[in-house]
Structure 1
Amino acid sequence: MSHEGENKEKLGFLSKYMTVWVFVTMLAGVLIGYYVPGVKDKLGSSKIANVSVPMTVGLLWMMYPILCNVRYEILHKMASTRTFWKNIAFSLVVNWIIAPAIMLALGWATLPDLPEYRSGLMLVGTARCIAMVLIWNRMAGGDEELCAIIVAVNSLLQLVLYGPLSYVYVVVFSKGTSMGINMWPVVQSVLIFLGIPLAAAVLTRLILRRISPSFYDEKFMPFISPTSFLALLFVIIVIFASQGHDIVVNIKTLIRVIVPLILYFTIMFFTVLYVCYYYYVPYKTTSVHSFTAASNNFELAIAVAAGVYGETSNEAMAATIGPLVEVPLLLLFVRVLLYVKSRWYDNRIKA
C-alpha cells in the first residue's frame, strides 16, 4: 500500500466528511464568538507577531506534518529541470502581478465609497499565501514538493516586496488610507509561520529517516499526517470564535466586503485552472498553481493591518474577513478540483 493511501485510511471518517467537519467547526466558532462573553479578548490576550497564540500554534502544527512529507533530498533534481523554472515563473507572474491587480479592480468596482475597507482588501491581495495553501493542495492530491518550493519563494519575496507593493496599491492605486509600513511584522510572519515549521520538518526528516527510513515512511508519517487536518479544524474554530460577534453584529457591511473576496478567489482559481488544463499541465501541478493563485497570507495581512491602523480599525476588519471567506470557498474548490480530475483529467490520460 502506498504512503498516500495509508494516510487516507488513517484519516477515516474525517477525510470522508471533511466538508461537513469544516462547516460544523465554522458554525461552532461563530456561536462561541457570539454567545460566550469575552472569548475574543481571551483568545487574543497573548500574541506572537500580532497573531493570537492559539492561532499561531494551530497554524504551525497544520504546516508541520505537510512539510515533513516533502522530499527535500530530491529538490536539487527538481530545480535542474526546465519545467521547474517554468512553473516558478508562471507562479510569480500570477501571484505578484495579476493577483494584486485583480483585487484592486474588484475593490474599486464593489467598494468605491469605502476606502478603508478597500485598503484592507489590498493588504490581503498583496499578501501571498504561505500556510493554508499547503493543506488545500494536499487535500486535492497536488504536488507537495512543488507547493513547498513556491511557498518558500513567495515567503522570501514577501520580505522584499510586501512593504512597497502594499503601499503602492493601498495609497497610490486604491486611494486608500495613508500608511507607514514597518517591515518587521512582515519578517516576523515569514520567520514564524514558515521558518519554524520548515526547520522542524527538515530536521525531523533528516534525523528520523537516517535512523530508520522504514519507521519514518511506514509509522511516523501515517501517524502524524492526519493531524494537519485536525489542526485546520482548530484554526477554523479560533478564527470564527474570534470574529463571531462582529460577524453577526456587522453583517450588512461584512456582506459588502465579502462580495469582492468571493469574486477574487473564484476568478483567480478558475482562471488558473482553465489555463493549466488548456495547456495540458499535469493535474498535480495544476492543483499547486490553482491554490497558490487563489490563497492569501491572511496572518500577515491581519498583523500588518492591526499594526498600522489598529486592531479595531475598518482596515483590520476587512483583512480579518479574508480567512472567513477563504476557508469555506477554498474547501469547496478542493471538491471542484477533485471532480475535474475524475471527469476530465483522468479521461484525458485514458485517451
Structure 2
Amino acid sequence: MGIFERYLSVWVALCISGGIAFGLLVPDLFAWIAEAEYAQVNLIVAVLIWAMIFPMMTQVNLTSIKLATREPKGLILTLVVNWLIKPFTMFALGYFFFYMVFADFISPENQAQYLAGLILLGVAPCTAMVFVWSQLTRGDASYTLLQVSVNDVILIFAFAPIAGLLLGLTELTVPWATLTLSVLLYVVIPFIAAMLVRWWLLRKGPEALVKFQLRLKPTAVIGLCLTVLILFGLQAQSIVNSPFVMLLIAVPLVLQTYLIYGIALTGAWYLRLPSRIAAPACLIGTSNFFELAVAVAIGVFGITSGAALATVVGVLVEVPVMLSLVALSNRMAPWLNARSENN
C-alpha cells in the first residue's frame, strides 16, 4: 500500500475537520461552490469524481471474464452477495435504525435522506480498493480482477434499477432522469473512456499501462479528499448543530459491513473456496464503491443533502472496518485452505 492508501482514514479525517472549519469560517466560498451547477450536476465536484473513478476504470480487463468457466464458484458467491443480498440488507438495517431505533433523534426528512445514502452505498460493490484488500490477504490477483470486472459490467446495468426500486420505498420522489444521467456520467462514460485509453496504452506494451496507472493512482485519493472537504464544508452548520448525526449514520453502516462479510464467509466455507478466492470475494461485497455512491447522491439529491452526507460517512468508517476484516480473513485463511484441499 502506498502512503495515500495506507493513511486514507487519516486524510479523510483531516478533510472532514478542515471542511467543517472552512465551512464555518468562509461559508460564502462553499455557497459559490454549491451554485456551480449545470443540469443539476455540480461542475467542480464532477471533475473531482472523475479524478476518483477514472484511474479505477483503467484496471478493468473485459477479456478476463472468460476465466469464469474455470473456477465459477467464487464468482457466483460475489454476485449473489452483491446483487441479491447486500442492497436489501442495507435497506433493512437503515430503515430499522433511522425509522425505529433513532426515530426520536432524526427528522422525517433526514430519515429518508440518510436511508437513501445507505441504499446508494449498498448497491455499489467495491471496484478499486478491493485490489488493496486482495493484496493484503494474498488473494489471487487475476481472479480478483475477474470478480471486479464482472461486477462492474453488472453495475452499469443494475445500479440504477435496484437503487431506484429501493429509493422508491423510502417515500422519496425518485428522479429517474437524474439517476440515469448520474450513472451515465459517472460509470458508463468514464468506463468507455478508460477502455479506450487502456487499449491505446496496451498497444505500446503492458509496461506503458502499468506506468500510466501508477502515475494516475494518487489522483483518486486526492479527488476523494477534496470532495470530502467540500461536502463537509457545505454540511458544516448542520454537523455543528447535530454533532452526533455521523455516529447515528455509522451504526447501520458498520453492522452492515460485518453482516455481509459473515454471510459471504459462510458461503465461501460452504462452497469450500480456497482463501486466495474466498477472501477477495468476501471483501468485494463488504466494501463499497463509495466514489460512485457519493457522485450519485450529489447528482440525485444535491450536494448539501443528507444522502450525500451519509455516503461520505461511509467513506470515513469503511477503511478501519475493512482493515479489521482483512486481519480476520488472514486468520481464517488456514481453515479455508484446509477445507478446500479436503474437497
Shorter-chain TM band: 0.7 to 0.9
Matches within 5 A, 1:163-312: 163-167=164-168, 169-171=169-171, 179-217=172-210, 219-248=211-240, 250-251=241-242, 255=244, 257-278=245-266, 279-280=268-269, 282-292=278-288, 297-306=293-302
User: Aligned with 1:38: secondary structure?
Assistant: helix
RMSD across aligned positions (CA): 3.0
User: Aligned with 1:245: secondary structure?
Assistant: helix
Q: CA deviation at 1:323?
A: 2.7
Matched, 1:119 2:112: yes
Structure 2: distance between partners of 1:294 and 1:285: 18
Greater CA drift, 337-346 or 224-233 = 337-346
Q: CA deviation at 1:51?
A: 4.1
Matched, 1:105 2:106: no
Corresponding residue to 1:75 among 45, 59, 65: 65
Structure 1: distance between partners of 2:61 and 2:289: 23
Distance 1:258 1:212, change over 3 A: same
Aligned length: 320
Distance 1:321 1:222, change over 3 A: closer
Q: CA deviation at 1:273?
A: 1.5
Structure 1: distance between partners of 2:162 and 2:125: 20
Whether the 8 Å CA contact 2:19–2:230 is kept in 1: the answer is yes
* Structure 1 letter corresponding to 2:256: M
Matches within 5 A, 1:8-19: 8=1, 11=2, 13-19=3-9
User: Aligned with 2:174: secondary structure?
Assistant: coil
* Structure 2 letter corresponding to 1:198: F
Corresponding residue to 1:326 among 314, 317, 320: 314
Distance 1:262 1:49, change over 3 A: farther
Matches within 5 A, 1:55-66: 55-66=45-56
Q: CA deviation at 1:87?
A: 2.5
Corresponding residue to 2:23 among 25, 33, 37: 33
Whether the 8 Å CA contact 1:128–1:154 is kept in 2: the answer is no
Whether the 8 Å CA contact 2:90–2:119 is kept in 1: the answer is yes
Q: CA deviation at 1:246?
A: 2.8
TM-score between the two structures when normalised by the length of structure 2: 0.81
Whether the 8 Å CA contact 2:24–2:237 is kept in 1: the answer is yes
Question: Which residue in 2 is equivalent to 1:137?
Answer: 130
Structure 1: distance between partners of 2:44 and 2:124: 15
Structure 2: distance between partners of 1:331 and 1:126: 19
Structure 2: distance between partners of 1:16 and 1:112: 36
List alignment gaps of at least 5 residues for structure 1: 1-7, 172-178
Structure 2: distance between partners of 1:54 and 1:14: 22
List alignment gaps of at least 5 residues for structure 2: 136-143
Matched, 1:95 2:86: yes
Q: What are the superposed Cα offsets for residues 127-150 of structure 1, whole Å, 9 maximum, x if unpaired?
A: 246779334424423734423432
Distance 1:71 1:161, change over 3 A: closer
Greater CA drift, 84-93 or 328-337 = 84-93
Question: Which residue in 2 is equivalent to 1:345?
Answer: 333
